Chain A
């Protein structure tokens, strides 16, 4: 197998805030294979959006690259010059953002926006065809519409259409369905996944919705404190989680419980790192932490067919109390 499409190695990124620097990524490493659907899950502040945006060097100016590299389709993203970067974005990358209503220029008709995304001088048929691929009914009408005249789901389909316009090798979707109504999330997600499959591109979904990605992703990366704490096949990770955080997350989410059962919330709050974390970032909230967890930084290890960042991974598997709940 050739080199991975995306290779993120030891990425450290901080944000300049008022009087200090907040660390969003604390040496994150991840590889995305060609043609796979990878989900990155984590709560807000876990660093998943930073990781996704870093793939296109789309971070805001106050973000600072402190260490590490990120290579996409052979291009060193962080070191590339502006022209090379733009070529990469134009030809290899496609982004789908969380809020479709802001991702479209409000003053421009959809047809023109999509045409611009296609590049060159595409005829209306080409534009309509692209919209049809994104399962937009009545593309003729959509072409003439302004963004505000579309529902959220339709707008997101337009955004998806624009993202795949130039047949990118990598699609990055940041919470693509979070702002949509529950009843259509599934369908929009299905479209996205189908288009990926048709084009053979890789798809990275950033999300906090465990059930959703459980149905659509091949692999899943769980992020906490700016690191990927568990990475493996979706079925493995969600049905037999190893990292205590992954387990707690699954136990806390409403939807998997039986009627009358009680959810088990994770006590405490997520960390706000100001420098390299020299311990396990999850330790203060972890019900399994021991002294070592608070003093030694765990490194990624392969445990039970996946990568886990936890000192006590093996013990955790063995502990009956840590039996995973039924996942759907």
Chain B
């Protein structure tokens, strides 16, 4: 059966929750991509308003400790956190898929080497790894992307490897082998399209993890550099002023949580669509 067209059908008949997730996700994507061109105000303009001003008609999310309008900062934060994580996770998905396929299909030494590598990354305390990478590479986007990749790479490798193991024994792979197809051809033509579903599902989960990691790094001051904002650096900014300017943490925290939640909801829907789990009722 053609999984994709069926899955797309199921996704289209989405329920309210998925729809909510999709709409939020699309909105955030829109804000993330087109934010810089929207007439929201300059996110880094200092003294645009009073210091630590409460939300008002002019400043929807209030102002920060340098008198910057917090709303465009949150929009910029979405852009950094969301797009950065998306880029990182996409790169990781590509690398992880190739490694996972190689491990699952080639087996033996390649499998052992790749699996051990994934184990090492997995056993390394994630945040410590993040701090180390951020320190070695210097803080900024590059290290944020690397940290997200390191943390999510094992996820992709594991999933793709196990899916590949399931596919590698199937008839069409054997047939291609017998016809004399090269390993690379088999991986790209026969395995890759068939692991894509699992990769897509993993991609959404990795994206939510990536967003958490990016914002955690920025929260510790090692992610996106000021004056640029990421949702994590805004949280860091706001957490210093929780008692007198709670809107900073609340608005950026809410947007971050909403973003992760929408990614999760859509991820659930994609997973349900690709791999419907229907247990039988017990009566």
Chain A residues with a Cβ under 8 A of chain B: 18-19, 60-62, 82, 85-86
Interface pairs A-B: 5 shortest CB-CB: A82-B283, A18-B9, A61-B281, A60-B280, A18-B6
B9 to chain A: which residues have CB within 8 Å? Answer: 18-19
Answer yes or no: B278 CB below 8 A from chain A CBs: yes
Question: Complex Cα distance A60/B6, Å?
Answer: 20
Chain B residues whose CB sits within 8 angstroms of the CB of A82 once the complex forms: 283
Main secondary structure of the interface of B (DSSP, over half): loop
Smallest CB–CB gap between A295 and chain B, Å?
A: 33
Smallest CB gap from A18: residue in B: B9
B99 to chain A, nearest CB (A): 32
Q: How far is the CA of A18 from the CA of B7 in the complex (A)?
A: 10
Chain B residues with CB under 8 Å of chain A are 6, 9-10, 278, 280-281, 283
Q: Which residue of B lies closest to A83 (CB)?
A: B283
Residues of A close to B283: CB separation below 8 A: 82, 85-86
Closest to B283 in A: A82
Given contacts A18-B6, A19-B9, 11 further A-B pairs with CB under 8 A are A18-B9, A18-B10, A60-B278, A60-B280, A61-B278, A61-B280, A61-B281, A62-B278, A82-B283, A85-B283, A86-B283
When C-beta atoms are compared, the residue in chain A nearest to B9 turns out to be: A18
Q: Which residues of A contact B281 (CB under 8 A)?
A: 61
Between A and B, 13 residue pairs with Cβ closer than 8 Å are: A18-B6, A18-B9, A18-B10, A19-B9, A60-B278, A60-B280, A61-B278, A61-B280, A61-B281, A62-B278, A82-B283, A85-B283, A86-B283
Q: Interface SS of chain A: helix, strand, loop or mixed?
A: loop
Total A-B residue contacts, Cβ distance less than 8 Å: 13
A82 to B10, CA, bound (A): 31
Which B residues lie within 8 Å of A85 (CB)? 283
Most-contacted residue by chain B among A18, A62, A85, A86 (CB, 10 A): A18
Tell me how far the C-beta of B44 lies from the nearest C-beta in chain A, rounded to whole angstroms. Answer: 51
User: In angstroms, how far is the closest chain A Cβ from the Cβ of B268?
Assistant: 19
A18–B283 Cα distance when bound, in Å, is 24
Assembly CA distance A82 to B283 (angstroms) = 7
> Complex Cα distance A85/B6, Å?
35
Q: Nearest residue in A to B6 (C-beta to C-beta)?
A: A18
Q: Which residues of chain A have C-beta atoms less than 8 A from B10's C-beta?
A: 18
Complex: A85 Cα to B282 Cα, angstroms: 12
Q: Which residues of B contact A18 (CB under 8 A)?
A: 6, 9-10
With a cutoff of 8 Å between Cβ atoms, the chain B residues found around residue A62 in the complex are 278
**Which residue in chain B gives the minimum CB-CB distance to A82?**
B283
Contacts of B280 in A (CB 8 A): 60-61
A61 surroundings in chain B (CB, below 8 A): 278, 280-281
Which of chain A's residues have a CB closer than 8 A to the CB of B278? 60-62
Closest to A57 in B: B283
Beta-carbon nearest neighbor of B281 in chain A: A61
**Chain B residues within 8 Å of A19, by CB:** 9
Residue of B nearest to A62 (CB): B278
Q: Closest approach, in angstroms, between the C-beta of A291 and any C-beta of chain B?
A: 36
A85 to B283, CA, bound (A): 9
How far in angstroms is the closest Cβ of chain A from B11?
12
* Min CB gap A269→B, angstroms: 16
Q: In whole angstroms, what is the CA distance A327 to B180 when docked? A: 46
A contact residues around B6 at 8 Å (CB) = 18
